Amino acid sequence: MANIRFESVRKVFGKVVAANDITLEIKDGEFMVLLGPSGCGKTTLLRCLAGLERVDGGRIFIGERDVTDLPPRDRKIAMVFQSYAVFPHLTVFDNIAFGLKMQNRPRDEIKRRVEESARLLELSDLLGRYPAQLSGGQRQRVAVARAIVMQAQVLLMDEPLSNLDALLRLQMRAELKRLHQEIRATTIYVTHDQVEALSLGDRIAVMQSGRIVQCDVPMKIYDYPANKFVGGFIGTPPMNFLPGVVRVNGRGTNVVVGEAHIAPASSIAPALAAKNGQPILLGIRPENLALASSPQPNTIRARVLVVEPLGSHKLLTMQVGDEIAKVSVAPDERVAPNDDVWLHFDPEKIRWMDASTGEAIR
Ligand SMILES: Nc1ncnc2c1ncn2[C@@H]1O[C@H](COP(=O)(O)OP(=O)(O)OP(=O)(O)O)[C@@H](O)[C@H]1O
Ligand SMILES: [Mg+2]
């Protein structure tokens, strides 16, 4: 079994706490994505697991083994680094074979395993080439093949697609997913690209300033962000936030947003009622807002500022009171700049957040 456990792991660089009390379990065979902005501690966490950094506190387990004090070579981990490097003076075959040669494996075993890895990454026809004769995507695949050829139970990948153009990224993303389905190594994959995270992860751990702020399956992270940071980090464009005030009266619990009264879903109304009179944030994704031509329950007045036809949908930039909101509508929606419309909120899709802490109310 190669499940991975971080228990209260802490890593400090001078005044920077790069990993702050990280507790996380990754199941055997799971594909876990670490997602977060630059500098939040993603690489640090991988390096601690790989044994390239000593932790300042906590323990790390792989299966039943406490690896916290083991040197890297004894941890049985393969890693694709952020600045993936292939050896320019070695052929693709020798690049992939490198780690096995270091282990003095027999020649026929090396040949067999290199050919198997090359097949998985569709490099079979390129084994004789040098890196300079490869495209960026092919080079990146060599770096991945070099890691998986080691048949480690744990595979760490630090932004392996970061150097690729958008189209190649898309292609490689699907290839990595297929690869994982085939080899089933316990994988930790680092990215700051939220689309990649949603697409690849069995689960996503969202990091901010050295901490994990939410860890869950992708659609839970998308639909139920734990706080404003997560809602604002995930989604293109991200979640909209509009300020409001909770008001409880004879007609029940409402949230006053500008001139509009929004009736929260019944499941969340009691928790909101407890915040009567307090400021609150209404979080809603662009695709959960709809245009209406007349005022209805749960609508708010808005003005269209910008219309962007994006093929599969239209993206609208709207003025809502003092705020700007992004709204995604069908490609054939008839709408033009300066239109005054009503925006309809689906109460079931609203994620209410505490205005002072940014934490979701539940
Ligand atoms: N060797 C080091 N010495 C000093 N500070 C470091 C060192 N390595 C990382 N840090 C700091 O620790 C924090 C976390 O860095 P880390 O490389 O883990 O971030 P990251 O999430 O991987 O970011 P990126 O997406 O930019 O790669 C940053 O503030 C960084 O400056
Ligand atoms: Mg990094």
Tell me, what's the pLDDT at 1?
66
**What is the extent of the structural domain holding 169?**
4-233
220/264 same-domain check: no
35/67 same-domain check: yes
**pLDDT at residue 225 greater than cutoff 70:** yes
Say how many C-beta atoms besides its own lie within 10 A of residue 354's C-beta: 16
Residue nearest to atom 26 of ligand 1 (CA): 38
Domain final residue, candidates 233, 252, 284 = 233
173/318 same-domain check: no
Domain contains 335: yes
The residue among 154, 199, 158 whose CA lies nearest residue 61 is: 154
Taking the C-alpha atoms of residue 351 and residue 187, their distance in angstroms, rounded to an integer, is 31
Domain final residue, candidates 204, 233, 262 = 233
Domain contains 362: no
**Minimum-distance ligand to the CA of 209?**
1
**pLDDT at residue 71 greater than cutoff 80:** yes
Domain contains 329: yes
**pLDDT at residue 26 greater than cutoff 70:** yes
Question: Probe ligand 1: pick from 17, 20, 43, max atoms within 8 Å of CB?
Answer: 43
Q: Which residue is listed with tokens 């153009």?
A: 165
Q: Do the Cβ atoms of 10 and 157 come closer than 8 Å?
A: no
Tell me, what's the pLDDT at 171?
82
229/245 same-domain check: no
Residue nearest to atom 30 of ligand 1 (CA): 39
Residue 134 Cα, ligand 1 centroid: separation in angstroms?
30
Question: Probe ligand 1: pick from 11, 34, 40, max atoms within 8 Å of CB?
Answer: 40
* pLDDT one-digit tens code per residue, 72-131: 989 999 999 877 678 999 999 999 999 999 999 999 999 999 999 999 888 999 999 999
Residue 82 Cα, ligand 1 centroid: separation in angstroms?
12
Tell me, what's the pLDDT at 136?
81
Q: What percent of the chain has pLDDT over 90?
A: 81
Question: Euclidean distance between the first and final Cα of the chain, in Å?
Answer: 36
**pLDDT at residue 178 greater than cutoff 70:** yes
Residues whose beta carbon lies within 6 Å of some atom of ligand 1: 13, 16, 18, 36, 38-44, 82, 192
Tell me, what's the pLDDT at 188?
97
Residue 42 Cα, ligand 2 centroid: separation in angstroms?
6
56/175 same-domain check: yes
Domain final residue, candidates 178, 204, 233 = 233
Domain contains 360: no
Say how many CA atoms lie within 13 Å of 343 toward its Cβ: 33
What secondary structure letter does DSSP report for 161?
A: T
* Atom number, ligand 1, closest to the C-alpha of residue 40: 21
For CA atoms 198, 200, 206, 212, give the dihedral sign: positive
Domain contains 359: no
Comparing 73-82, 184-193, 298-307, which segment has the lowest mean pLDDT?
73-82
Residue 10 Cα, ligand 1 centroid: separation in angstroms?
13
* Atom number, ligand 1, closest to the C-alpha of residue 192: 25
Confidence of residue 135 (pLDDT cuts 50, 70, 90): confident
Confidence of residue 175 (pLDDT cuts 50, 70, 90): confident
Cα angle, residue 48 at apex, residues 42 and 50 outer, rounded to 5°: 105
Tell me, what's the pLDDT at 172?
83
Residue nearest to atom 29 of ligand 1 (CA): 39
* Structure token digits, residue 203: 């689960």
Domain contains 361: no
Mean predicted lDDT score pLDDT of the chain: 94
**pLDDT at residue 163 greater than cutoff 80:** no
Q: Do the Cβ atoms of 220 and 51 come closer than 8 Å?
A: no
Cα angle, residue 304 at apex, residues 301 and 307 outer, rounded to 5°: 150
254/209 same-domain check: no
Residue nearest to atom 17 of ligand 1 (CA): 43
The H-assigned helical ranges of the chain are 42-50, 92-102, 107-120, 136-148, 166-183, 194-200, 218-223, 228-233, 269-273
CB-based burial, 68-97: b 16+ in 10 Å, e otherwise: beeeeeebbbbbbbeebebeeeebbbbbbb
CATH at residue 317: 2.40.50.140
Confidence of residue 164 (pLDDT cuts 50, 70, 90): confident
118/211 same-domain check: yes
22/115 same-domain check: yes
75/188 same-domain check: yes
| β-pairing verdict for 31-35 and 186-191 | parallel
The residue among 165, 166, 112, 156 whose CA lies nearest residue 136 is: 165
**Minimum-distance ligand to the CA of 47?**
1
13/62 same-domain check: yes
> Full-prediction pTM beyond 0.75?
yes
Domain contains 283: yes
Across residues 322-328, what is the average pLDDT?
A: 96
**pLDDT at residue 140 greater than cutoff 90:** no
Across residues 271-294, what is the average pLDDT?
A: 95
* pLDDT one-digit tens code per residue, 257-268: 998 999 999 999
204/274 same-domain check: no
How many domains does the chain divide into? 2
Q: State phi, psi for 139 to the nearest 5 degrees.
A: -60, -40
CATH at residue 161: 3.40.50.300
Across residues 10-22, what is the average pLDDT?
A: 97
203/284 same-domain check: no
